[in-house]
A and B are shown apart, each in its own frame.
Chain A
Amino acid sequence: MTPEELEDFIAQGNPVALVDAVSDLSEAERKKLSKHAQTIHRTLEREWWRQQESDDPLLKRILGNQRKNPMPPWKHFYTAGLALLAVGPCSQAKKARLRSAEDPGEDLVFRVLKDRRPEWADDWLASKFEEGAAGLEWDTMLRLLDDGICRKPDTDDYYRSLAQGLRSWCYQKREEGVTLSKYLVERKDLLEDTWKFFEVENDAFIYDWGVEDAEGWSTAFVKLSNEGHLDRGRLLRATLDGLTTGFKQNLLSGYAKLHERLAPSPDELAELQDTYCDLLSSHLPQTVSFAVRMIKQLDKAKRLDDARFVPASASVFHVSTKGPPKAVIGLLKKIAKRQPELVSDIGRTLLDGLRHPSEDVQAAALDLLGTLGEQLDDDVLRGIAECREDLPAMLHGTVGQILAERGAEDPATAPDPREEIQDREQQQLELKSRAEAIAEPWRSRAGVDDAFAAAEQPAWPPALPFTPLEAAPLTGLDPVLPIQDVDELLDAIAHAIEQIESTIEIERIIDGVSRLPLDELPDHERRSAPLIKRIQKIKDSDSNRGITSRWHGPTELSRLICFWLSGKPNLAKPSWSGRDNAPSPLWFIDARLEPVQGRLQRGLRQCQLDFPTHQRGWIDPREFVRRWAELESSDGEISGWEVIQGLLRLAPEGREQALEEAASLEHSFAAPLRWALGGDEGPEPASSVKQKIDLVKNKLLNKPTPEAPSPAALWLAAARSRDPNGSFPELKAAGLADSGPDAIEPAVYNWSTGVRFHKDSYSDTTYRFSELELQVQPPLDDKPTPAAHPTVLLHRNEGSWSPFGVSSPWIADWISLVWPARLEGFFATGVKCLHSRIDDASSNWEPNHIYFQPLFDPDRPITPMAAFCLALGLSGRDQDARGLAVDALVEAIHDGRAHPDQLGDVLKTMVEPYWLKLNRLCENLAEVARVSPLHAWFVHSAATRLLTAYDELPRDAHLLLALLLELHAQLGLPVSDEVAQQLKTIKGSSKTAKLAKSLREFEPAAGGTLPEAQLQLLEARIARAERWSGAQ
């Protein structure tokens, strides 16, 4: 055969003709064709998809007739693979693609190898087993073994392939009556091989076919064992041996299931008793659970060796699930009754149960220890006392009772209550004297007097009444230091190109670029050249998450940095931009940066008017006016965009003084500034020709404008700075056409929850989706919001793949700095995002944790939307968001901003069935409650409010009741009448009913931590008032 003839067979896609043609070739003749076969195979594999453009003559010759077919040329692949197997060396034959629907059913692979009988056949077959199911058809493999063309490899891959391949092969032949068990009776050699399924990691027992006439391995083994083809005793032992292999958990479950399907008799159970006891020490809950089930069967058959079981049973408390430990405690209880001489050992075993993570297991273990009474020895009693710290507060009383009954020493002796009361009174007096030293209005604004009044009850005082402008946010935040020189600026840019640590860093860079000329540095080219090169290199990279990223950054930021470095704004322009151009606050950010670049082009260097003086974007008004005055005196540019941004960032502190100083400012934009600072002269009705033009322009506007903002936009910013929550009808008269949220009227959000059911017709499964309808008043206009209206843009979150059109945490955080005084729009976006991923794990592409960041400002009020964000974070699966929601709530309780009624009320809106995930919520609330008595009191109050919202308790309500019971015990609080009444309606013997009964009958013991919680609340409010008053 010539190489051309070989090509012809492949070009025709005629595998049968090829195999016929090569059947009589000698090894020498095959060797001559080998290189060409390899070239064809390689070319086809690598180049077939480029057949349209490729000029490769070989590809053209082979695929000439396939040129317009977009599908892979399977026939050609298969024929080329056979050619390689027929003439190539072993290393190449291993690469041949030989599994194909194109096989005409003549088992051509078998024929090729039978004709050729290569000496490397064993090696080649072992490699096919290594590939698993993808390697070769199972019956081909069998024929090769049966005909002695290859020898059976003793490798793990062979046994894995046997498990997988034979099962699939029998399934395909089921209509011919072939089943695994019938086939294996005929093939004793393969039957013997199957014992390896218990030694080699494989998926034989994970599942059985869900089809009546198709057998899986488990069914086959049970049949073969019942029919006597497999040794039943060996099989039972093998399944147990399999459980100690350390394979993946699902594989081990397969062994356990098979063992149970074999239904061991009492004699067999007794014979395997030691192994079952050994399996209790497994760290895998499923294995332990299986062992406990078998031991329970032994017990039922009255064949359990109690003395063997009791010491072994301690291991069961290592697993974190509670089922097996509780079952073991049940068995120990029975043993204690029938074998009193084992009670001491049982007591020691139960000590491990007291350290179990589940409170249910701890309670059951303690309960049993309590019944063992007199027979417990001193070691066990000492052990019980040592475990007190591990036990929940609701069990502390039982511990004390057990120790007292046995006259044992209890190290946790309660302190003298009189001394405690005296101490508390003393602390309260000290707090009172601190409170009296605080001037008004700070004491009232921080709710100090309310807290003292509530402490008499005891009850929660009303929520803190302050708005951001009534607080003194600069007192709780670090100042932002501007970049000092070009050297520092270059380092900051270099780092920000790669990675952004904080959004304030971006503001520092913008301010630095605006002020500092690059050529101030003598060797600036040496420094900037690597940065320019780097920006150009990564401009199209998807992994670029820095300031020049096409996915993440505002376009103008990248242009500004590039222009400053190189004098060319389009240095980093990507081939295409990944940014979603839906309306968002990024429109404003881009517009705000454009004039900065314009100034650089004109060679103008000046400070950035809107540069924050403090974290979270706040600007000290006095500094703002000072900068403004400096710009006026130095003929600097006062950009309307920067004025809008600056006004929205003005902090409440020092406004009066700033207003006085602003009186001398002459620029036309100074009037809105003065009004923002509290001046009397507000906007006038639109009358001038320019204002009318602006009005028309605003109405016609259908895209963001980079031009100067209209006077109406400046007055809007001034109004929202003057009073973020106020109504400003005068803005309409001044020409403001935008009637959206936080324009003329403040935004108010409402929401409703629902559930949508979707029945999947294919799987007959019904899926449930929680639905959320979020409405803002006044509603958003249909037409795009102007870029100069950032307060309104903050409510626009219609991006198609990300609400703000971006997915980097730093951009979302940057958006939160646009208007630090009011973030309802920002939090509403957070609500939308958190709800959409409530059952999803953390994601780098949808970083929802960022919506909790502003809640760490000590003077950020917890608004309804912020509280909703917290509630969703506490109920979600995203660990980053969950963690920050817990942290934010811990912080807000600690500094007195959070109020339990508010969180409880938000949670009440989520009680719709299938909406609230009580397991997640309760776990997170319990974590918050652990922090301090104040936190425990908060959680108790919020959870009580949630409980009373239910008309009918859900199935998982026991989680909420267990949390409440523990907090009642910890705080020493009695159950309120309202809650007791509600609990009375719960009947039955469910877990919820049992806990409801325990709660109803709960009587608080002395020594609860509620008084301490009250002192902590007073301390929080006083500390806030002191901080605020110190600002003046």
Chain B
Amino acid sequence: MTAAALDFTYRYAFPSEVGQTERGFGLQLATCGAHHEQPHFFDGKLLAPREMGEMLLCLSEVVRTHFFLPRPPLMDPVVTSSDTTLRFEGFSGCCGVYARVDLPTEALACDHLSHGTTNVDFNNPMRAALARLRDNQDTRLAVGAEGVELSSGDKRVVEKKVKLPVRWIKGFSEVQLYQPSMQLKLETTGAEGRKFVRSLPRSAAPKRPSYVTRMGKGLRLSQRDSKDAVQFHGTHRVRVLEPLMTTAKSLRIWSDEETGTTAWEVLLRAGRFLLMLSPEVYRGFSGEGQALEKLAGNRWQDSLEPVQQRLHHQSRLDPAELAQEIGRPVQEVEAALAVLGARGLAGYDLNRGGYFHRQLPFDLAEVDALQPRLKAARKLLDENKVKIVAQAVSSTDQPSGQVELEVAGSGVNHLVRLREDDDRCTCPWFSKHQGQRGPCKHILAARMLTDDSENG
């Protein structure tokens, strides 16, 4: 392991393939967990094979793409099986695009279904075959195979050694935190969605932010902000949806204006495809710092363990129900779920508006402590470089939320002003991003200090 990447070996008992199996023609996906186990999660028939093939291909395209450097990574997607949904997730090599295929069990005739999350092998011959799936052909899907074990000397065993960048794993986990604050901004029919996606530039993409805006029944790409327009960066990142649009029923666009993140949801007969874009092409989801306030605070700590104990591959986690079960406030449970999301233990389903349980099949223990801004903030506290210089009091002589702190920086002291809803710092990072990319290390340290003093 280097500082920036973890060595990881995908080890599959056989290559994923499309072809004749014992139970008929279909797609047989090979599985591999974090500790090289090969679980068997699903066996059944596809009701719309062509669309499913297209969605998996599109997902694979995202996973194999680095959207600003010609450096294709070799990571594989992850599948989660639950009672109601089979979800395939992937993350681009540049860490700026997250994609997920949600196949509701209604679109599958299940013969065997069990719960869990695992990597799935996506190889070139299988990708080529996926594109050939047709609706008029009976097609089965198997995720894993019964009784398969790895045996040395088996020529069918597929091994792929990759370096998983830490920021890739972190981004894959933290991307879930952006979704709860997203709002549905635009929705259009499949035909109009097709026209829009096809109208995106094919060659040189704009360097400035682009906007999608309503135009009659349809959508239009614009280079200018306007009322109800949704800003996004990198038209080429949205273009990956083009093959899916041929049979799409509708296109939905979600956005969180504060973070600048967008999610593009294509609804098809076979299921849903979600494409989430980071605020800028050159910015990944990891290190964006949206999670930092939650991770830095300690309001979730009492709920974390009981919530984690109640995770058993539910396809929807209801915070209110969980709160009642463990006897803690709903907000605390929500914060705990967000933290679990950041640790790769929960995903968020935008369409259904809630978390679902899944455990990313990587060893996340090493990654958890590597959040650089959080580390830097803790270091500032450990070195006693944060001191309160003023604290406003309310009319009842109680400390108000307004605190001013001095935090030692490189050759200069930064002034942090903590407010109820608008923390500010004099450092260049904050001055530039104005909190849009999460709090700076000085604000984090200040918040940690004041939280500690509040809690005695």
Answer yes or no: do A and B interact. yes
Chain A residues in the interface with B (C-beta under 8 A): 244-246, 278, 281-283, 311-312, 314-315, 317-318, 320, 352, 355, 357, 389-390, 491, 494-495, 497-499, 523, 526-527, 529-531, 533-534, 841-844, 849, 856, 877-880, 883-884, 886-887, 927, 930-932
| B153 sits at the interface (CB 8 A) | no
Q: Are A883 and B414 in contact (CB under 8 A)?
A: no
Q: Identify which of B57, B222, B426 contacts A527 (C-beta below 8 A).
A: B426
For B224, what are the chain A residues with a Cβ–Cβ distance below 8 Å?
Answer: 856, 883-884, 887
Report the separation of the CA atoms of residues A526 and B427 in the bound assembly, to the nearest whole angstrom: 12
The 3 A-B pairs with the shortest beta carbon distances in the complex, nearest first, are A883-B223, A841-B204, A498-B432
Chain A residue nearest in CB terms to B223 = A883
For A352, what are the chain B residues with a Cβ–Cβ distance below 8 Å?
Answer: 246
Chain A residue nearest in CB terms to B191 = A389
Report the separation of the CA atoms of residues A519 and B242 in the bound assembly, to the nearest whole angstrom: 58
Q: Identify which of B134, B216, B426 contacts A931 (C-beta below 8 A).
A: B216
Whether A883 touches B210, Cβ cut-off 8 Å, given contacts A244-B124, A246-B127, A842-B204, is yes
For A877, what are the chain B residues with a Cβ–Cβ distance below 8 Å?
Answer: 204
Whether A530 touches B125, Cβ cut-off 8 Å, given contacts A278-B132, A842-B206, A880-B207, is no
Interface window among B155-163, B194-202, B274-282, B378-386:
B194-202
For B125, what are the chain A residues with a Cβ–Cβ distance below 8 Å?
Answer: 244
Q: Are B415 and A527 in contact (CB under 8 A)?
A: yes
For B64, what are the chain A residues with a Cβ–Cβ distance below 8 Å?
Answer: 246
Q: Least Cβ distance of A667 to chain B in Å?
A: 40
Q: Are A315 and B132 in contact (CB under 8 A)?
A: yes
Q: Are B223 and A390 in contact (CB under 8 A)?
A: no
Whether A879 touches B412, Cβ cut-off 8 Å, given contacts A494-B426, A497-B431, is no
Q: 1/0 per residue B208-238: CB within 8 Å of A? A: 1010000110101111100000000001000
For B320, what are the chain A residues with a Cβ–Cβ distance below 8 Å?
Answer: none
Q: Least Cβ distance of A926 to chain B in Å?
A: 9
Q: Are B124 and A498 in contact (CB under 8 A)?
A: no
Q: Could you show 6 A-B contacts with beta carbons less than 8 Å apart?
A: A246-B64, A311-B134, A530-B414, A880-B206, A883-B206, A927-B220
For B134, what are the chain A residues with a Cβ–Cβ distance below 8 Å?
Answer: 311, 314
Whether A879 touches B131, Cβ cut-off 8 Å, given contacts A389-B191, A887-B223, is no
For A884, what are the chain B residues with a Cβ–Cβ distance below 8 Å?
Answer: 223-224
Q: In this complex, which of B406, B413, B428 has the most chain A Cβ atoms within 10 angstroms of its Cβ?
A: B428
| B243 sits at the interface (CB 8 A) | yes
For A842, what are the chain B residues with a Cβ–Cβ distance below 8 Å?
Answer: 204-208
A-B contact count (CB 8 A): 124
For B412, what are the chain A residues with a Cβ–Cβ distance below 8 Å?
Answer: 529-530, 533
Report the separation of the CA atoms of residues A158 and B43 in the bound assembly, to the nearest whole angstrom: 41
| B455 sits at the interface (CB 8 A) | no
Report the separation of the CA atoms of residues A283 and B223 in the bound assembly, to the nearest whole angstrom: 29
Q: Are B218 and A930 in contact (CB under 8 A)?
A: yes
Whether A879 touches B201, Cβ cut-off 8 Å, given contacts A533-B412, A842-B206, is yes
Q: 1/0 per residue B119-144: CB within 8 Å of A? A: 00000110111011010100000000
Q: In this complex, which of B208, B243, B413 has the most chain A Cβ atoms within 10 angstroms of its Cβ?
A: B208
Report the separation of the CA atoms of residues A533 and B432 in the bound assembly, to the nearest whole angstrom: 15
Q: Least Cβ distance of A962 to chain B in Å?
A: 16
Q: Are B128 and A282 in contact (CB under 8 A)?
A: yes
Q: Least Cβ distance of A897 to chain B in Å?
A: 16
For B246, what are the chain A residues with a Cβ–Cβ distance below 8 Å?
Answer: 317-318, 352, 355
Report the separation of the CA atoms of residues A317 and B242 in the bound assembly, to the nearest whole angstrom: 12
For B127, what are the chain A residues with a Cβ–Cβ distance below 8 Å?
Answer: 246
| B456 sits at the interface (CB 8 A) | no
Q: Identify which of A245, A314, A530 contacts B124 (C-beta below 8 A).
A: A245
Q: Are B413 and A529 in contact (CB under 8 A)?
A: yes
For B242, what are the chain A residues with a Cβ–Cβ distance below 8 Å?
Answer: 320
Whether A526 touches B194, Cβ cut-off 8 Å, given contacts A281-B131, A498-B428, A842-B204, is no
For B199, what are the chain A residues with a Cβ–Cβ distance below 8 Å?
Answer: 927
Q: Least Cβ distance of B210 to chain A in Å?
A: 7
| B411 sits at the interface (CB 8 A) | yes
Report the separation of the CA atoms of residues A135 and B130 in the bound assembly, to the nearest whole angstrom: 40
Q: Least Cβ distance of A466 to chain B in Å?
A: 23
Q: In this complex, which of B129, B202, B434 has the most chain A Cβ atoms within 10 angstroms of its Cβ?
A: B434
Chain A residue nearest in CB terms to B428 = A534
Q: Least Cβ distance of B51 to chain A in Å?
A: 13
Chain B residue nearest in CB terms to A877 = B204
Q: Are A282 and B131 in contact (CB under 8 A)?
A: yes
| B424 sits at the interface (CB 8 A) | yes
| B189 sits at the interface (CB 8 A) | yes
For A357, what are the chain B residues with a Cβ–Cβ distance below 8 Å?
Answer: 198
Q: Are B131 and A315 in contact (CB under 8 A)?
A: yes
Chain A residue nearest in CB terms to B414 = A530
| B409 sits at the interface (CB 8 A) | yes
Report the separation of the CA atoms of residues A145 and B198 in the bound assembly, to the nearest whole angstrom: 53
Whether A495 touches B206, Cβ cut-off 8 Å, given contacts A318-B246, A526-B413, A530-B426, is no
Q: Identify which of B136, B192, B222 contacts A887 (C-beta below 8 A).
A: B222
Report the separation of the CA atoms of residues A492 and B57 in the bound assembly, to the nearest whole angstrom: 47
Q: Least Cβ distance of A934 to chain B in Å?
A: 12
Q: Least Cβ distance of B283 to chain A in Å?
A: 15
For B222, what are the chain A residues with a Cβ–Cβ distance below 8 Å?
Answer: 883, 886-887
Chain A residue nearest in CB terms to B53 = A281
Q: Are B194 and A390 in contact (CB under 8 A)?
A: yes
Q: Are A533 and B220 in contact (CB under 8 A)?
A: no
Report the separation of the CA atoms of residues A529 and B136 in the bound assembly, to the nearest whole angstrom: 72
Q: Identify which of B57, B426, B432 contacts A531 (C-beta below 8 A).
A: B426
Q: Least Cβ distance of B351 to chain A in Å?
A: 24
Whether A389 touches B220, Cβ cut-off 8 Å, given contacts A495-B431, A533-B411, is no
Q: In this complex, which of A245, A281, A318 has the most chain B Cβ atoms within 10 angstroms of its Cβ?
A: A281
